[in-house]
Structure 1
């Protein structure tokens, strides 16, 4: 296409401005080299039952009845409840955990949190007001392998109420 003024010279490309249309993003497209954490959030007033695997982070604001393995962290918000079995790297409980909890690294129990059942951890932090009822075991650092499984407890189980 040519202009009427200069024969043989092409027209410059047109740029159309459309109001309220988002500008195209430049940079990495849908395939990105950056790995986003796989997070599952169970919102308030939602109940989820079943087996959960391969998530990096589980956030419980509602209720979960599950077996959880292969997850890096479990966060139970105030008002949230997890019932079942969890084998994870780290946990923070501000709501209710009921069942079997095996934490490879650090367990944080907030002032509003309650844990009922069998608890196993390497390190623990309990805020004033946090409640534990059940069997507590301290995992020895040497008993924990890279997959997050644990061996015999450092000491005999201690029952608290």
Structure 2
């Protein structure tokens, strides 16, 4: 659940619950919490929105925080924290303050991060236009430059020459010239 999310209690005011098997068409708004285990087709707004594994929202979603284990599509604007769980899927135009993705979470569409003052960050820094992002949980394999940098760091204290060869190549390239240079890759 989102860090400040509330737990649903039927006796509480300003809380809405859409149960499994229920489909709501239209606009729904609550000042505190909306929990969706069913389906909503339309605009949804609340301080906190929680979408269960079977929950679906198709429409414009506006909230301060959202915790998604189900599916949201179309236009999503989360001012502070968007959490997408392992079973969650968010599609469409997505604007968020902070984002947290679990292994297996899927986000498809235009992503825009908000600055702390609520303004959108420049597109070049925050937009992943029409890209599919899947969080697989495993760390990526080191890139060639990272492997070279690691070899160079190891060679600095060692004696003798260090040679690297690309896969399938018999040509050996000395890395002595690389020692002491900084990589532009930021490693």
Equivalent runs, 1:43-122 vs 2, <5 Å: 43-69=19-45, 71-122=46-97
Judge conservation of contact 1:40–1:55 (CA < 8 Å) in 2. Answer: no
Bigger strand share: 1
Judge conservation of contact 2:66–2:83 (CA < 8 Å) in 1. Answer: yes
- Cα distance, 1:53 vs structure 2: 2.3
- Cα distance, 1:54 vs structure 2: 3.5
TM-score by length of 2: 0.60
- Cα distance, 1:104 vs structure 2: 0.5
Answer with 1 or 2: which has the greater Rg: 1
Q: Distance in 2 between matches of 1:158 and 1:131?
A: 13
Q: 1:128 aligns with which of 98, 103, 112?
A: 103
Structure 2's unaligned 5+ residue stretches are 1-11, 133-187
Q: Distance in 1 between matches of 2:104 and 2:114?
A: 24
Structure 1's unaligned 5+ residue stretches are 1-35, 145-150
Aligned to 1:148: none
Q: Distance in 1 between matches of 2:128 and 2:13?
A: 35
Bigger helix share: 2
SS of corresponding position for 2:26: strand
The RMSD of aligned alpha carbons is 1.5
- Cα distance, 1:105 vs structure 2: 0.4
TM-score by length of 1: 0.69
Aligned length in residues = 118
Greater shift in the superposed pair: 51-60 or 84-93: 51-60
Equivalent runs, 1:18-29 vs 2, <5 Å: none
Aligned to 2:145: none
Q: Distance in 1 between matches of 2:29 and 2:14?
A: 11
Cα shift readout 1:3-25 (whole Å, capped 9, x = no counterpart): xxxxxxxxxxxxxxxxxxxxxxx
